[in-house]
Amino acid sequence: MFKYAVVELSGRQYLIEPKKTFEVDFLGDKKTLECEKVLLISDDKGLNLGNPYLKQRLVFDVLETNKSKIRVATYKAKANTRKAKGQVRTVSKIRLQDKQS
């Protein structure tokens, strides 16, 4: 059982802890995800560093997919100007499978 791991998903690095959920960029309609790019694993014995990746693979469950809005608004009081920008981001919530933690 490890304490934490660092993996690379969609070009970004994430710190993974067992039994915790986290959001990543949209992964598609997959139910499970096998991550081959494991950079580091910390366990009771110490750190295992890859060169650049470890041979161990981690499997994640995709819990849900959501869309979240980001809105940025500016306002200038005396000029009475308003401007709003934003984007809709699609994210997937994933969690490490229990049998490997």
pLDDT at position 28 is 87
Task: Decide: 38 and 50 in contact? Cβ < 8 Å.
Answer: yes
Residues paired with 21 in a beta bridge: 95
Q: Please give the mean pLDDT across all residues of the chain.
A: 91
pLDDT tens column, 62-97: 999 999 899 999 999 999 999 999 999 999 999 998
CA–CA separation, 18 and 66 (whole Å): 22
pLDDT tens column, 5-53: 999 998 999 999 998 999 999 988 889 999 999 999 999 999 999 999 9
Query: Which of 20, 101, 12 lies closest to 59 in space, CA to CA?
Result: 101
pLDDT at position 68 is 86
pLDDT at position 3 is 92
What is each CA distance from 39 to 5, 98, 100, in whole angstroms? 8, 20, 17
Residue 60: pLDDT band (50, 70, 90) is very high
Count the Cβ atoms, other than its own, within 10 Å of residue 82.
Answer: 9
